[in-house]
A and B are shown apart, each in its own frame.
Chain A
């Protein structure tokens, strides 16, 4: 199929991501090994030839397809040093990387003692030079089975730089590594990436923050690749606070090897329309993944979450809990699938989606699913939508707490089941504060006080 379609069509397929933009991108990337250039070219071809999602695509059921237009986005200019109003997340950390418009703008290295033990906390651009084989083996190396192949191809094609984290065998990081990805300027298109390789018996916590430096319309198409080796313990938490005009895609690919434990928590607050896909592969016995999600949807925001837990080996366990609070005319979609391969006996898998409806005009869609090919497994799933319990609300109000405050307490109570799974108290508090800030910024529901 030809990439340069008829003149009446190309806008819908490519939007602003024209061959000229791709060429300019390639010209602007400092280090481009042949294998990476080949992959990028192939990815761009795939992006350009694949159609946009259609109404009949099961993987896009309930999604607002008219919101997915790619028109008008541009390759953003570099952000001058010191021009970013960066505010750290407020958690003690082992190191920090700040990207703005796809380029590194600030960094705080890990302690020399960690670097001496082989810990690498740097950029993908650097790692392509210093750890080329590792990058080649792990960067965007997994399939994209959840419906967004066009957009993951675009991510591969236009990925310029991102975070590269390598934790060698047996090394435990004492504090989280923090990464910030900013978008700035009208129509800016950003392609954040975080690649984490945690080797055998290592442990690390990574905090990924997705932010807009202004209230402009942005396009964000990011991915994180998480690889947990034998017995590794990896915690990945992400806070998405893009501008309310942003179209966001965020893809996750997690590999858990023997006895590895991966916990991920994605907090979704920003964006106009945000799609999150999480693909988790439990590849060897004893592997465990915990996938957590929290969403606060205001106004006309749409959050679309698609998950896949694949159990490929016996004695693996996974636990997924996505909780959404919906206000105003917002919309959420949760579609989850647990797949158990034929020889993955003794699989223990859970998938839960809970929606708290704080408005009669909001819409929560839930599509849980199981596909089990082994016979000795325990797989359960559940999806519920509920409102504020009037008895609980009354109880709080009889203590003098105003209705809006009572509802906020109850909403935080609803989230606490997820937040309390974070072992780090400062992270727990930082995430609570982010949610609180969103409630404060949004108009509160009518409070019937005199």
Chain B
């Protein structure tokens, strides 16, 4: 059982405060959704937790099983069990998915430990089958010339291979048609387990019809202004973000 605690987190980009005191706890096995309009700090939250160098944490803390991760480099955070599924994954020409994932798996092994290539490819192919990905994918360069759906499936493939304790999923539904959305959602649902905690960031309720959350949080201007169960997402969908503005945000 693991726990990710975000405690009164404040994040700035340059001089501008974006996240303004956000507190949230995610436990293994739980799926949390953070909903909110554009520009409210959702993606900033995800990137800051993952350790993006452009985001400054001005106060607060993020604890993984009671240990602060803020002193850790992004790759250390990843090896400690965090995973960020990007809204806009980087395109990296010339680096094949097979080599990239191999390096990521290798990075988690001890000094002098050798990767079992046969076992690695067996596992990789089984995850690709799950995500309905052609095996030729492994020789393609990371996200280079991928469609929106391919990019998101590639993110989920990485998550499946790296088996994080906590996944931050940033607008995983954006840019997906309904078929791609279903494949991605099936992939995430297949990974749902008592060992994985998920923090899903989304603008629309649509994704939550496919990946049903245990908890829903509404974010506004850098803070969580309301939390509830999955019915909150439906209420938000019905009433719109104006409701948040007029009813939930303290004047």
Binds A, one of B74-82, B173-181, B225-233: B74-82
Is the Cβ of A449 less than 8 Å from the Cβ of B76? yes
CA distance A128 to B74 in the complex (A): 63
Say yes or no: A394 contacts B103, CB within 8 Å: no
Most A CB contacts (10 A, CB to CB) among B51, B84, B95, B141 go to B95
Stretch at the interface among A74-82, A176-184, A269-277, A401-409: A401-409
- Give me 5 other A-B pairs in contact (C-beta within 8 A), A398-B74, A399-B103, A400-B107 excluded: A399-B101, A405-B103, A413-B141, A416-B94, A449-B76
Task: Please state if B99 and A409 are interface contacts (CB–CB under 8 Å).
Answer: yes
In the complex, what residue of chain B is closest to A418 when comparing beta carbons? B94
B246 CB within 8 Å of chain A = no
Complex formed: what's the CA distance from A392 to B88 in Å?
11
| Contact in complex: A409, B90 (CB < 8 Å) | no
A427 within 8 A of B: no
Contact B107 A398 (CB under 8 A): no
Q: Is the CB of B141 within 8 A of A400?
A: no
Kindly state whether residue A414 has any CB partner on chain B within 8 Å: yes
Most buried by B among A389, A401, A412: A401
Instruction: Give which listed residue, B53, B75, B104, contacts A390 with CB less than 8 A.
Output: B53
Check B162 against A399 for contact (C-beta < 8 Å): yes
A415 to B75, CA, bound (A): 24
| CB closest chain-B residue, reference A417 | B94
Q: Which residues on the A side are within 8 Å of B44 (C-beta)?
A: none
Which of B51-96 touch A at CB < 8 Å? 51-53, 72-79, 82-84, 86, 89-90, 92-95
Q: Which residues of B contact A392 (CB under 8 A)?
A: 90, 92
Query: What is the bound-complex CA distance between A394 and B51, given in angstroms?
Result: 9
Contact in complex: A395, B141 (CB < 8 Å): no
Question: Are B93 and A397 closer than 8 Å at their CB atoms?
Answer: no
Counting contact residues on chain B (CB < 8 A from A), the size range is 20 to 34
Listed from nearest, the 3 A-B pairs whose CB atoms lie closest are: A413-B94, A416-B94, A400-B78
With an 8 A cutoff between CB atoms, is A448 at the interface? Answer: yes
The docked-state distance in angstroms from the alpha carbon of A303 to that of B101 is 34
Minimum Cβ distance to chain B for residue A294 (Å): 12
| Chain A contact patch, size range | 20 to 34
Between A and B, 5 residue pairs with Cβ closer than 8 Å are: A394-B74, A398-B74, A398-B83, A402-B107, A413-B94
B158 interfacial by beta-carbon distance below 8 Å: yes
> In the bound complex, what is the Cα–Cα distance between A84 and B94 (angstroms)?
36
Complex: A399 Cα to B161 Cα, angstroms: 10
* Contact between A398 and B94, CB atoms less than 8 A apart: no
Give the chain B neighbours of A405 by CB distance below 8 A: 103, 107
Q: Is the CB of B51 within 8 A of A398?
A: yes
CB of A50 closer than 8 Å to a CB of B? no
Q: Tell me whether A400 and B93 are in contact (CB under 8 A).
A: no
Q: Which residues of B contact A397 (CB under 8 A)?
A: 51, 73-75, 78
A450 adjacent to chain B (CB < 8 Å): yes
Instruction: Indicate whether A410 sits within 8 Å of B95 (C-beta atoms), given known contacts A398-B78, A401-B103.
Output: yes
A403 x B75 contact (CB < 8 A): yes
Partner of B75, one of A391, A401, A416: A401
Whether B93 contacts A417 by the Cβ 8 Å rule is yes
Chain B contacts for A413, CB-based, 8 A: 92-95, 141
Is B135 in the interface zone, CB < 8 Å from A? no
Q: Kindly state whether residue B108 has any CB partner on chain A within 8 Å.
A: yes
**Residues of A contacting B86 in the complex (Cβ-Cβ under 8 angstroms):** 395, 398
Asked if B50 is at the interface (CB within 8 A of a chain A CB), the reply is yes
- A residues in contact with B73, CB < 8 Å: 397, 403, 448-450
Minimum C-beta distance from B59 to chain A (A): 23
Partner of B162, one of A400, A409, A412, A415: A400
Cβ-defined contact, A402 with B75, below 8 A: yes
- List chain A positions with a Cβ less than 8 A from chain B: 389-392, 394-403, 405-406, 409-410, 412-417, 420, 448-450
A416 proximity list for chain B (CB < 8 A): 93-95, 141
Most buried by A among B53, B89, B92, B100: B92
- Do residues A401 and B104 form an inter-chain contact, with CB atoms below 8 A? yes
Can you name the residue of chain A whose Cβ is closest to the Cβ of B47? Answer: A394
Question: Complex formed: what's the CA distance from A401 to B104 in Å?
Answer: 5
Tell me how far the C-beta of B29 lies from the nearest C-beta in chain A, rounded to whole angstroms.
Answer: 22
| Contact (Cβ within 8 A) B104 A399 | yes
Chain B residue contacts of A399, Cβ below 8 A: 75, 78, 83, 100-101, 103-104, 107, 158, 162
CA–CA, A414 and B141, complex, Å: 11
Most buried by B among A400, A403, A409, A450: A400
CA gap between A413 and B73 in the complex, in Å: 23
A395 close to B95 (CB less than 8 A): no
Least CB distance from A156 to B in Å reads 40
Question: What residues of chain B lie closer than 8 Å to A390, measured between beta carbons?
Answer: 53
Contact indicator A395/B75 (Cβ below 8 Å): no
* A390 and B47 alpha carbons, distance in the complex (Å): 14
Task: Tell me which residues across on chain B come within 8 A of A449, comparing CB atoms.
Answer: 73, 75-76
Q: A450 touches which one: B76, B84, B100, B162 (CB < 8 A)?
A: B76
Tell me whether B158 and A394 are in contact (CB under 8 A): no
Q: How far is the CB of A388 from chain B (nearest CB, A)?
A: 11
Of all chain B residues, the one with the shortest Cβ separation from A390 is B53
Output the least CB separation between A313 and chain B (Å).
34
| Inter-chain contacts of B53 with A (CB < 8 A) | 390, 394
Measured between alpha carbons, how far is A395 from B76 in the docked complex, in Å? 13
Most interface-central of B72, B78, B101 (chain A CB within 10 A):
B78
Residues of A within 8 A of B77 (CB): 398
B51 — which chain A residues lie within 8 A by C-beta?
Answer: 397-398
A52 to B101, CA, bound (A): 52
Query: Which residue on chain B has the smallest CB distance to residue A405?
Result: B103
* Shortest CB distance A278–B (Å): 24
In the complex with contacts A394-B53, A405-B103, A413-B141, A400-B95 CB distance below 8 A: no
